[in-house]
A and B are shown apart, each in its own frame.
Chain A
Amino acid sequence: MRRLALPLGSPFTMLLLACSFALAGYAGVRLLDGDTVGVLLWFVGAALVHDLVLLPLYATADHAVVRAFGARDRRELTGYVRVPAALSGLLLLVWFPLITGQVADRYRSVTALSPDGFAARWLLISAVLFAGSALLLLLRLTRERRLRNATKQRPPAAH
């Protein structure tokens, strides 16, 4: 008969975690005081949205780029798309409220600053990132072609 009971594991770990849960509980009661369901949704939801939506999304996108380069047998060039896309996507993720303009009215009335430039600046930064990456890729491909031609034109070595 298989034993169903779990072994206890490390007593030190259990003591440490008991302390940790006690402190988290003390603060957690205060955190949940008010909109309990809302806060729980945000707390647990943040982890779930990251692990089950954001990460699979960018991993799938990355996989598609790798496959596209793999089809041409040039997987090592993936970074020329991955790096600018990751940086541009990160800026969008962090500054989403300002870039999309969803806080534009409040932003203008609170700060007396113009809310209009954020989307344009994000697009310009993205353009610079992708253009820079394209330039580097072009240089690399040109250098490779020149090297290949040089090797072809070299006369066979005399023995």
Chain B
Amino acid sequence: MPHPDRDPRLPTSPGFWRSPLRGPWLTSVLGLVLLAGITVLFVTGLVSYAAYNPGLSPVNDKTPGKGILGFFLFDWPTDPHWLYRFTQGVHVTLGLTLIPVLLAKLWSVVPKLFALPPARSVSHALERLSLLLLVGGALFEFTTGVLNIQLDYLFPGSFYALHFYGAWVFFAAFVAHVVLRLPTALRNARRLRDTRGTGHGRDDEAAELVSPRPAQPTVSRRGALGLVGGASLLLFVTSVGQSLGGVWRRTALLAPHGGADPGSGPGGFQINKTAAYAGISAAETGEEAWRLVVSGSTGTVRLSRADLLAMPQHSAALPIACVEGWSTPDQWWRGVRLRDLAALVGYDTDPPDVFVESLQRQGAFRRAALRANQVADPRSLLALDVNGEPLTRDHGHPARIIVPAAPGVLNTKWVARLTFGDL
């Protein structure tokens, strides 16, 4: 009877794993790609949280219990006006592009998962425990992200909380893994570049990865990397169009906001939530029924759409950019400046923050807060028209907020009430 460690029918035996591709070079190269890519994902993810201005008002903050994990927060700027479109497009598109690299990396190290003995020392045991957080965390983050952009809310809780706190759990394990492995990875990638060699016997790492009885190769290491790169490229070219818009949207064959635009004409650009989905009825948005309530230090005024159209009208070319990664090119909005509305209720100079309420009765962002720098920007509008025509119902008729560089959900649609004042 063979020793269990040696029986090649068991995954705990090194001989069970027969691919001749596995080895320190492949694992190191994939690891270095993930190091760069995941760092960008983490940073753009934190940036996205800051873009919501969570410190301004509880309604903007879906993770109020964050504690020190929000140490980096800063006032979100309005320049450049495509800032959130860019950072969130990178976050989602890069995440999708890295999926094949992550899967390949996990494949390349799978023998180590089963390796015996389970622990050679206390520090080794702790390291393996940390790998559970690393692998579980990575898969948790990619899965919740991929499901959320497809509106498939299977996960157990609020996406914002799961994805944000999950990212920190993952990142804790990721940093430890990088510190422990980066020197080896750099050495392997450099040392073995010329030979594509297997690096037998240099250390325990190599021994755990390289098969002791490799099967006949069916593909070279270069070919395997080519497959991973090709898979990444395929995901990239079938997704990136939803963040570029225009003719490129047609190339995003499988992305949620790829392919066609909804309808044609001035309102024929991507919609976050339709009026029907948000429960907005025509009765409450009609000329007779709808009034905008604006409050400030000198009291409250009520304005009809005609009153708003009688105020000075201004234009701004700004995109809609969603946390889901898709965005539209700049649309031509026209309406009343937020700072002009602030001036109506007592803030002639130095406009303050504003609290915005929608006609929506439910939805996570039916109320949103904008910071003083966003209110003061001359491009920040209460828009009444888009692309030369009155807003369509799905784009927020009778009036919606549009602010440069702000995440889509802070550009409140079907606005009912604006309350100016320091929040």
How many Å lie between the Cα of A100 and that of B125 in the bound state?
41
Are B253 and A109 interface neighbours, CB within 8 A? no
Are B172 and A20 interface neighbours, CB within 8 A? yes
How many Å lie between the Cα of A14 and that of B119 in the bound state?
14
B106 within 8 A of partner (CB): yes
Are A27 and B172 interface neighbours, CB within 8 A? yes
Residue in A20, A83, A118, A122 whose beta carbon sits within 8 Å of that of B176 in the complex: A20
Interface locus among B189-197, B258-266, B354-362 = B258-266
| Given A23-B172, A109-B277, A125-B253, A43 contacting B137 (CB threshold 8 A) | yes
| Given A20-B130, A112-B274, A31 contacting B156 (CB threshold 8 A) | no
- Give every chain A residue within 8 A of B119 (Cβ-Cβ): 6
Total residue contacts A-B, CB cutoff 8 A: 211
Are A21 and B256 interface neighbours, CB within 8 A? no
B151 within 8 A of partner (CB): yes
Are B122 and A14 interface neighbours, CB within 8 A? yes
Residue of A nearest to B132 (CB): A47
Are A31 and B110 interface neighbours, CB within 8 A? no
Interface string of B105-127 (1 = CB under 8 A from A): 01100100100000111111111
B contact residues, total (Cβ < 8 Å): 81
Are B140 and A42 interface neighbours, CB within 8 A? yes
A contact residues, total (Cβ < 8 Å): 68
Are B127 and A13 interface neighbours, CB within 8 A? yes
How many Å lie between the Cα of A42 and that of B107 in the bound state?
20
Question: Do most interface residues of chain B lie in helix, strand or loop, or is the interface mixed?
Answer: helix
- Give every chain A residue within 8 A of B67 (Cβ-Cβ): 26, 30
A60 within 8 A of partner (CB): no
How many Å lie between the Cα of A33 and that of B162 in the bound state?
10
B61 within 8 A of partner (CB): no
Residue in B140, B156, B161, B216 whose beta carbon sits within 8 Å of that of A30 in the complex: B161
Are B100 and A110 interface neighbours, CB within 8 A? no
| Nearest CB of A to B116, in Å | 14
Are A47 and B254 interface neighbours, CB within 8 A? no
Interface locus among B52-60, B223-231, B328-336, B400-408 = B223-231
A44 within 8 A of partner (CB): yes
Interface string of B180-210 (1 = CB under 8 A from A): 1000000000000000000000000000000
Are A66 and B274 interface neighbours, CB within 8 A? no
How many Å lie between the Cα of A19 and that of B130 in the bound state?
11
- Give every chain A residue within 8 A of B150 (Cβ-Cβ): 95, 97-98, 103, 107
Are A114 and B260 interface neighbours, CB within 8 A? yes
A156 within 8 A of partner (CB): no
Are B106 and A50 interface neighbours, CB within 8 A? yes
Residue of A nearest to B63 (CB): A30
B133 within 8 A of partner (CB): yes
Best-surrounded residue of A42, A75, A78 (most CB of chain B within 10 A): A42
- Give every chain A residue within 8 A of B126 (Cβ-Cβ): 13-14, 17, 21
B80 within 8 A of partner (CB): no
Residue of B nearest to A50 (CB): B139
| Nearest CB of A to B380, in Å | 26
Are B274 and A17 interface neighbours, CB within 8 A? no
- Give every chain A residue within 8 A of B162 (Cβ-Cβ): 31, 39
| Nearest CB of B to A110, in Å | 5
B310 within 8 A of partner (CB): no
B302 within 8 A of partner (CB): no
Per CB-CB distance, the 3 closest pairs between chain A and chain B, nearest first, are A38-B156, A9-B121, A9-B123
Given contacts A28-B169, A109-B276, A111-B256, 18 further A-B contacts (CB under 8 A): A6-B119, A6-B125, A9-B123, A17-B123, A20-B172, A26-B68, A27-B172, A30-B65, A31-B161, A34-B158, A39-B157, A42-B143, A47-B132, A55-B107, A87-B234, A90-B103, A90-B234, A112-B271
Cross-chain pairs A/B with CB under 8 angstroms, 28 sampled: A6-B120, A9-B122, A14-B122, A20-B130, A24-B169, A26-B168, A27-B69, A27-B165, A31-B169, A34-B157, A42-B156, A43-B136, A46-B136, A51-B135, A69-B218, A76-B218, A82-B227, A86-B231, A90-B99, A91-B238, A95-B150, A95-B254, A110-B151, A110-B273, A111-B274, A121-B253, A122-B254, A125-B254
